[in-house]
Amino acid sequence: MRIDILTLLPATFTGVFDESILGAARRNGLIDIRIHPFRPYGEGRHRTVDDTPFGGGPGMVLKPGPLAAALADLRKDGPPAPVIGLTPQGHVFDQTMARELARLPRVILVCGRYEGFDERILPEFDLQISIGDYVLTGGEFPAMVVVDALSRMIPGTVGDPDSVREDSFFDGTLDHPQYTRPAIWQERAIPAVLRDGHHSRIADWRRGEALWRTVAHRPDLFRQLALSSRDRALLQDALANHSQSIPDKGA
Ligand code: ADE
């Protein structure tokens, strides 16, 4: 998959896409990330890309002309791709969006800056994405978040396909708790079921815990789940187990 990122701050991306899973996916040719500065498309001797808002008010607004010219150049090269603006007014990004975008051969991400985009550039965007209800200084961090989340959905980027299938949100639930050695740490023991190596019992316990966590921490997500009768039984067991244990802060 090819990902083009249009930004005023190309240096912010240095390093983040070179390490670990993303770095390996790039080296293996699974993702092709290209960073494009749009300052060169600015107007006049100073390559101006922004101006004060009509009607007054604080901050600067990104001019439509330089962005449109940069997008026109990007569209000339490579397969057709949706243009996605990163802005706090976009659709809130989630796992479903990550999975759907990862199916495409290419996406173009446009990072905003300052007080935002001139409204007249918005028809050039096929989609606007927000990564949450808070305002950042620009779209660069949101673009990194989107690239990271969708890269994990591209077959082959994450070594073990089960680790993606079991992710929080992959099936609409939060992930089950995880433990590693030692089995007892500071008098806190791992759940007994994880010690006996009985795979179907472990799978049932994990499903029950994932459902319990979702109902306890994210009732909004829980309401959207279609539970099977087995799910209901496993959740009942998890609820019973938890009512016997002292609530663990941040479990
Ligand atoms: N630009 C500034 N804040 C943002 C957010 N929350 N999501 C996407 N782009 C942004």
pLDDT means over runs of 10, the chain (251 residues): 98 94 96 98 98 96 98 96 97 97 98 94 98 97 98 90 76 96 97 96 98 97 97 97 70 50
Catalytic residue among 66, 140, 152, 209: 152
Would you state the pLDDT for residue 51? 97
What residues are in contact with ligand 1 under a 6 Å CB criterion?
Answer: 86-88, 112, 130-132, 134-136, 138-139, 142
Q: Which helix (H) or strand (E) holds 106?
A: strand 106-111
Would you state the pLDDT for residue 4? 98
User: Which domains, ranges and CATH numbers included, belong to the chain?
Assistant: 2-152 (3.40.1280.10), 184-241 (1.10.1270.20)
Q: With 0-12 CB in 10 A as exposed, 13-18 as middle and 19+ as buried, what is 27? A: exposed
Q: Dig out the tokens for 55 from the structure.
A: 């009607």
182 preceded by a cis bond (ω within 30 of 0): yes
Cα(115) to ligand 1 centroid in Å equals: 11
Would you state the pLDDT for residue 250? 53
pTM, entire model: 0.92
Alpha helices in the chain (DSSP H): 20-27, 64-76, 95-101, 140-151, 161-165, 199-217, 219-222, 229-244
Contact indicator for 40, 47 with CB cutoff of 8 Å: yes
Contact indicator for 30, 58 with CB cutoff of 8 Å: no
Would you state the pLDDT for residue 182? 98
Instruction: Please report, for residues 2, 80, 107, the alpha-carbon distance to residue 102 in angstroms, rounded to integers and kept in the order given.
Output: 10, 15, 9
Contact indicator for 12, 140 with CB cutoff of 8 Å: yes
Contact indicator for 173, 210 with CB cutoff of 8 Å: yes
CA 87 to ligand 1: nearest atom: 9
Would you state the pLDDT for residue 20? 92
Residue 44: phi, psi to the nearest 5?
80, -175
Going by alpha carbons, the residue nearest to atom 7 of ligand 1 is 130
CA 129 to ligand 1: nearest atom: 8
